[in-house]
Structure 1
Amino acid sequence: MAATLAATVLTLQPAPVSAEAGRQPESKPAGPSPQTTQESDGHSVTPAQRARMAAEEPLVQAALRIRAAAQTAKASGFAGVALRTGTVTVYWKGTVPPDIRKAIDQESAKVPVAVQKAAYSAEELARAADELTRKMRVLSDRSVVSVGYPVTGTGITATVAGAKTPPALADVKVSVKVVRVPETAASTGRQRTPSIPGSERNKAARPADSGSRTTGTTAVGGWPIPSRQDDATPAWGGAHVINANATGGNNGWKTRVEGTGEVVYVDNKYHCTSGFPVQLNGTTEEAMVGALSCGGPHRTFVDPSGDVVNIPTNGIAVDPFSGISMTVPKGGAEPFIYDGDGWSQTGWQIAGWEAPVAGQSVCVAGAETGNFCDATIGDEVGTQTALISNSQGDSNETRNMTNVHTHVHNGPVWPNRRAYRLADGTPCNGFEFLRDVDEQGCLAVPLGRGDIGAPLYTVPATGTQTGVIIKGILVHQHDGDGQNPNSYHMVGVDKIRATYIVSPLTSANDQP
């Protein structure tokens, strides 16, 4: 269904939380093929990963109900809840009140539940973190680049640029852990973005044979049509988009130089991932949720071929602190996200969404490096505030982010390294973690800068047909060279729907 323009307002709306049987969309010659068979070629999640996600789903539902009960009751001692090796663990300061103990007992009849003591409640930590960020804002002190606190209730963590300790940290009333990053890494934001030398510079050529995967050395293109690099109409989530109005690049895509084999950046443009589809304002009007750092709804986005993929509009109001924006895709959207590598023509159907839970296994559907299913929701769920560089060279203060840890399990697909495709179709590998790139110039981290905006999701069932559950979108990479390159940040769908009137676009409500 074609999208129309609509303004958003601040409100909270309920949303489905469980998967439903997948539905094949009507045949559309221009569209990719949705994934309907388990672990087929090009499918990112392994049988072990999928089984783990399915096993976690009852724990997740129990954790969400306990968290909702504590938040509804405004219970002052609640610190958080997490999945810990097959157990739902509730962190609480002081004595658990009778009504919450009853809710915990009800869930413990279904799944294992444990209660552990917390030093501070979530309310105390939120108040301390908010006060710290407020003081830093008033002082125009940007040396604290992020603040957050975990569900364990142990205190707050402040990431500080440079060697000096801001005086405001001494006034914090709870335990504070200081993590330092080099001042240059935090203050400069983006790195310099070189381009391909010679006649191929900044060139995006559509291939003559739309079904081929060419391996030409410097020509950009050769991807299948449609695919992440040349999205379907109606649009899918997880596609490659480029902000045509950006004032600088973000090192979002690479290619190989002919003759030398050197891996270099394709251009100095701002590359991102398209996010996931929603319906606006409780209507059938369709949009894509994306990372605000990639650009707002009034910006023009193109695909790598140069085709405009959205309808720029000033009619969608954006909360500058949310980290989230909306775009209106040309031709509307479909309830699917891409799967597989950056060249994929397959995808997952979307069944709904639910809030993130600490310790939960998730996949990331990034346009640059493809889908990655070795990621876990960290302990800072919806509690991170950070300064994030945007496409105009500035930085926004983004609140309510969730930490995401990427890692590698020994398994049948990527024991220590994995292959992904460059812009010209040639392969690269990752997972050295010594620096951002390896000796060839290939990414040595799981997710690239062009993956920002990627949907995070779970596969909550092991059947041959199932929809995936969206958990949120990727909005931020690690804070600097001194930070763990496995650490990223997302904004959960609970925070998104608390800011915008949106509902999930699924097979159940999609319009023909």
Structure 2
Amino acid sequence: MKRLSAIILAGSLTFGFGPAASADDEKPGVQKESTPFSYIAPADREKLMAQIPLQQAAGKIRWAVERAKAPGFAGIAFRDGQVVLWWKGSPPADVQTAVVSAQEKAPVQTRSAPHSLAELQAASAAMVARMRANPTSPFHTVTIPVDGSGLVMQTESDQAGAASILQDVAVPVRVEKHERITPAGRLNDSSPFYGGMRLNNNDNGAFCTAGFGVVAGGAEYLLTAGHCGRINGSHNNGNDSIFVGTATHEHVAHDLLLISTNAGSRIWDGGVPGGLNTGGEFTKGVAGWDWAYSGEFVCHSGSRSGAVCSIQNSGNFTATTCGNDVYGNYECYSDLIYSERTNGSPACQGGDSGGPVFTLSGTANVVAKGTVTGCGGNAMTYQDFGTAWRDFGITTIT
């Protein structure tokens, strides 16, 4: 039986962006790109680069929200070239000061929200409990729009039975039909292990993907998806030639797992044979981590699909979704980010779970945004790195 283990690790922390990783950190024999991120279509690259000032502005506000712990926060989004902050009531003085400072980086607009994020999370709890209690129900995901307007319940069939699952919910709820999201190498990595490598579960042979090398209290770990393993469970690399490490910390509800190992400061990037991206295989340095924002464009690098972009964080920003872990346990994962591939193609595949979700830091490195939880059609859910920081006290190895 898996057990919730939300542990804050001891030690001092560094936040946000560290120094850019050097190409000298790459392992011998890794293919070199003539142009970094050559697999990203020019239009997608332009979007990823254009949003950097918005990310810088939003980061100032998001950290002020985190420190203030004030009620009323609904969400932050990128809309039409500006940052939009939704708040129920008036933001506290510290947040208003951050908004003024953020406007030095990009335009910022504050809008009124009918409900706060905390109110909507509380309202969704009863719906999530009913989903968890009924694994055969067609209802599988609850999302929270970034503007605080209400809740969205997803069903894979029709809306029959919606009245029972929505009873006693005191906020507006919209029901949508959508394919169920299911919890989703590289293949022979060696120490120090990089994010994006394939991880084989030694309990049952199931494979997932490592997210990022992280550190807390002087100890190094690979961050991955909680549904890919268990505390005290061990993992090998993708071709079972090298033992990677043993999982030591898990947060079941947030779908997060830490594997104790010698972790590196880079992620595998580019293609995988037979994946959604079949191009060359490369690595990238990790410059640090940042919060996730609605409207933001992200990429992920799974050990089954390879690196995939054209993925945008949805307006239905915060999600809870239910599915089976690699042991067959039916679990519900909360506080996820809901995103969609804008061209309608699959965003990820089974085996990509735990893999790194990232944006660009300049032209040659990446910023950690989170780890993949699940896929369904063109949709992808992932746990944001900020939640992992809160749960475990980790930061990226840079």
Q: Structure 2 length as normaliser, TM-score?
A: 0.85
What is the match of residue 10 of structure 1? Answer: 8
Residues 57-456 of structure 1: matches in 2 within 5 Å?
57-96=52-91, 100-134=95-129, 140-142=133-135, 143=137, 144-160=139-155, 163-165=160-162, 167-180=164-177, 228-246=186-204, 270-279=206-215, 281-283=216-218, 285-312=219-246, 316-329=248-261, 332-342=262-272, 344-381=280-317, 383-408=318-343, 445-456=346-357
**3-state SS of paired residue (1:312):** strand
**3-state SS of paired residue (1:105):** helix
By how many angstroms is 1:364 displaced? 0.6
Root-mean-square deviation over aligned CA pairs: 3.0
1:47 to 1:390, Cα distance in 2 relative to 1, 3 A: same
C-alpha contact 1:190 1:389 (8 A) present in aligned 2: yes
Task: Determine which of 36, 42, 45 is the counterpart of 1:39.
Answer: 36
1:494 to 1:328, Cα distance in 2 relative to 1, 3 A: same
Aligned counterparts of 1:76 and 1:302: Cα–Cα separation in 2: 44
Aligned counterparts of 2:80 and 2:326: Cα–Cα separation in 1: 40
1:74 to 1:326, Cα distance in 2 relative to 1, 3 A: closer
Number of equivalent positions: 383
C-alpha contact 1:277 1:333 (8 A) present in aligned 2: yes
Aligned counterparts of 1:72 and 1:502: Cα–Cα separation in 2: 17
- 1:261-296, CA deviations, whole angstroms, 9 ceiling, x for partnerless residues? xxxxxxxx52321221111x321x221111122212
**3-state SS of paired residue (1:378):** strand
What is the match of residue 252 of structure 1? Answer: none
Structure in which a larger fraction of residues adopt strand:
2
Aligned counterparts of 1:190 and 1:475: Cα–Cα separation in 2: 6
C-alpha contact 1:90 1:115 (8 A) present in aligned 2: yes
What is the match of residue 499 of structure 1? Answer: 391
By how many angstroms is 1:242 displaced? 2.6
By how many angstroms is 1:372 displaced? 1.0
Aligned counterparts of 1:110 and 1:28: Cα–Cα separation in 2: 37
- Code of the residue aligned with 2:7 in structure 1: it is V
C-alpha contact 1:19 1:460 (8 A) present in aligned 2: no
What is the match of residue 22 of structure 2? Answer: 23
C-alpha contact 1:149 1:384 (8 A) present in aligned 2: yes
What is the match of residue 359 of structure 2? Answer: 458
Task: Determine which of 362, 365, 368 is the counterpart of 1:470.
Answer: 368
Task: Determine which of 51, 71, 74 is the counterpart of 1:56.
Answer: 51
Aligned counterparts of 1:317 and 1:117: Cα–Cα separation in 2: 39
- Code of the residue aligned with 1:293 in structure 2: it is H
> Which 10-residue stretch deviates more, 285-294 or 491-500?
285-294
1:324 to 1:100, Cα distance in 2 relative to 1, 3 A: closer
By how many angstroms is 1:167 displaced? 2.4
C-alpha contact 1:300 1:308 (8 A) present in aligned 2: no
What is the match of residue 277 of structure 2? Answer: none
Aligned counterparts of 1:229 and 1:287: Cα–Cα separation in 2: 19
Of the two, which has the highest radius of gyration? 1
Aligned counterparts of 2:314 and 2:47: Cα–Cα separation in 1: 17
By how many angstroms is 1:473 displaced? 0.6
- Code of the residue aligned with 1:494 in structure 2: it is G
- Code of the residue aligned with 2:361 in structure 1: it is P
Q: Structure 1 length as normaliser, TM-score?
A: 0.67
C-alpha contact 2:26 2:283 (8 A) present in aligned 1: no
What is the match of residue 266 of structure 1? Answer: none
By how many angstroms is 1:86 displaced? 1.1
- Code of the residue aligned with 1:391 in structure 2: it is V
C-alpha contact 2:187 2:197 (8 A) present in aligned 1: yes
C-alpha contact 1:149 1:157 (8 A) present in aligned 2: yes
By how many angstroms is 1:59 displaced? 1.1
By how many angstroms is 1:153 displaced? 0.9
- 1:16-72, CA deviations, whole angstroms, 9 ceiling, x for partnerless residues? 32363441335754x62576x5337xx333444334323212211211222333454
By how many angstroms is 1:365 displaced? 0.7
1:451 to 1:384, Cα distance in 2 relative to 1, 3 A: same
**3-state SS of paired residue (2:101):** helix
Aligned counterparts of 2:267 and 2:293: Cα–Cα separation in 1: 21
C-alpha contact 1:56 1:360 (8 A) present in aligned 2: yes
What is the match of residue 207 of structure 1? Answer: none
- Code of the residue aligned with 1:333 in structure 2: it is A
**3-state SS of paired residue (1:372):** strand
By how many angstroms is 1:101 displaced? 3.7
> Which 10-residue stretch deviates more, 127-136 or 166-175?
127-136
